[in-house]
Structure 1
Amino acid sequence: MDKRIVVVTGAFGSLGRAVVGRALEQGALVAQVDVSEARLGEQHADEARTLVLGGVDLADAEAARAAFARVDSHFGGLDALLNIAGGFAWQTVANGDLATWDRMFALNLRTAVSASMAALPFLEKSASGAIVNVGALGAVKAGVGMGAYAASKAGIAKLTESLAEEFKGKVTVNAVLPSIIDTPANRADMPGADFGKWVRPEDLAEAILFLASKKSRAITGALLPVTGGV
């Protein structure tokens, strides 16, 4: 990842922070993009190696284009887009509402499509452009209450496969499919679970960065399960 210019969406969340930190350790130049406003002293706010862009609603196409234009202006290009922005909601269909479905598709799929559209003109100019999406193992076999979330993440899988074909030979497009990520929010929601079986954000970050690196240039259209002990 040395000197590779990378955009991390959802950069202020648990997984985003792990990816940003590991990418910087590997020598990347990183733009951190998040819908939340950046806090004073946001992680690794070193202008020589990072660009912090808070308050960016990637579901808004114009906001996404403006953000990637700033990345290009700041770093002089783009080599990899890591689509980590997203969210989760548990709700049964019988007792649920359509607003949850709209929210899951906006957070998980629309943001990835919008960011990819904004990034592709810059990625095509890179000698080794890459997109890495975050899907979900739960989209392969969804359980009770997982309908809206799993459907939106299934969309990520098909977006990944379609984009990989569309940009074959130009930009690699792959996705990771984690099981349960070991985050404070997940621990709070499932206090009785065996956290040791879950996927550590740092381990998932390693898989994401491998797919974003030049070492994975022969891989495109892959949906990589990252399941830990689940």
Structure 2
Amino acid sequence: MAARTIVITGAFGALGRAVAEAAAVSGARLALIDHAADGPAPEGALKLGGVDLTDAEQAGAAIDAAADRLSGIDALINIAGGFAWETVGGGSSETWYGLYRLNVLTATNASRAAIPHLKRSAGGRIVNVGANAALKVAMGMGAYAASKAGVHALTQSLAEELKGDRVTVNAVLPSIIDTPANRKDMPDADPALWVAPADLAAVMLFLASPEARAVTGALIPVTGRV
């Protein structure tokens, strides 16, 4: 990964931090985009905070700024997103709209903006975060699972669109990620069964690497022992 430029959205969250740290250790140049104004980052990383990726213009400006400051983009890792547990019968259409915007639209806007830059790379990569919950949906997960299924479809569609341009597009499908928020929400669960952010980051960085040139359109479960 040395000398490759990687843009990470949702970079100040638990998974984003893990991916950024692992990428920095591998020698990658980093641009970190997040809706939060500021957050932790490896030394030397370009931080672009306060970006609403549901807004196509803001997404485009942030991606173009990253490409300009770092002389191009080799990989885009779309981590920005959200979650809500809500039954359909007792829920709201606003939850469905909101999760679509947070999960599908953010990845779409960032990817669309990055495509011209990725096409100029010797091996462009897009890595999305889907969800294993979209394959086997539990009660209360309808809106979330539907939005992540949209990410899966986006991934496969983009893979077909870009396969002639040496740009691969793949997604990881985690189960429960071991984050402070999940531990708080599920105090009686055993987090040893969950997916460690560092382990998920390793899979994502492989997909963002030159070695993953033969993999595109893949939806890869990373489920730990859940």
**TM class, shorter-chain normalised?**
over 0.9
Letter in 1 for 2:4: R
In structure 1, the residue matched to 2:8 is 8
Secondary structure at 2:163 match in 1: coil
Gaps of 5+ in 1: none
For the residues of structure 2 that align with 1:116 and 1:178, how far apart are their CA atoms? 20
Out of 62, 66, 70, the residue aligned to residue 75 of structure 1 is: 70
For the residues of structure 1 that align with 2:126 and 2:67, how far apart are their CA atoms? 16
For the residues of structure 2 that align with 1:103 and 1:151, how far apart are their CA atoms? 12
Count, aligned residues: 225
For the residues of structure 2 that align with 1:141 and 1:28, how far apart are their CA atoms? 35
Q: Deviations over 1:152-210 (max 9, x none)?
A: 00001100000000011321000000000000011111110111000000000000000
Letter in 1 for 2:136: K
The answer on whether the counterparts of 1:132 and 1:212 sit within 8 Å (CA) in structure 2 is yes
For the residues of structure 1 that align with 2:138 and 2:87, how far apart are their CA atoms? 10
Letter in 2 for 1:166: E
For the residues of structure 2 that align with 1:151 and 1:61, how far apart are their CA atoms? 22
Map residues 54-133 of structure 1 onto 2, 5 A cutoff.
54-133=49-128
Secondary structure at 1:110 match in 2: helix
In structure 1, the residue matched to 2:178 is 182
In structure 1, the residue matched to 2:41 is 43
In structure 2, the residue matched to 1:166 is 161
For the residues of structure 2 that align with 1:112 and 1:68, how far apart are their CA atoms? 12
The answer on whether the counterparts of 1:175 and 1:223 sit within 8 Å (CA) in structure 2 is yes
Q: Does 2:203 match 1:203?
A: no
Secondary structure at 1:168 match in 2: helix
**1:68 Cα deviation (Å)?**
1.1
Secondary structure at 1:36 match in 2: coil
Q: CA RMSD in A?
A: 0.7
Q: Deviations over 1:126-165 (max 9, x none)?
A: 0100000000000001100000000000001100000000
Which consecutive segments of 4 or more residues in structure 1 shift more than 4 A? none
**1:45 Cα deviation (Å)?**
4.3
Letter in 2 for 1:28: A
Out of 210, 215, 218, the residue aligned to residue 214 of structure 1 is: 210
Secondary structure at 2:136 match in 1: coil
For the residues of structure 2 that align with 1:68 and 1:135, how far apart are their CA atoms? 21
Letter in 2 for 1:26: S
Letter in 2 for 1:84: I
Instruction: Work out the percentage of aligned pairs sharing the same amino acid.
Output: 59
Gaps of 5+ in 2: none
**1:98 Cα deviation (Å)?**
0.6
The answer on whether the counterparts of 1:45 and 1:52 sit within 8 Å (CA) in structure 2 is no
For the residues of structure 1 that align with 2:101 and 2:156, how far apart are their CA atoms? 19
In structure 1, the residue matched to 2:139 is 144
Q: Deviations over 1:18-40 (max 9, x none)?
A: 0000000001001000001014x
Letter in 1 for 2:222: V
Letter in 2 for 1:145: G
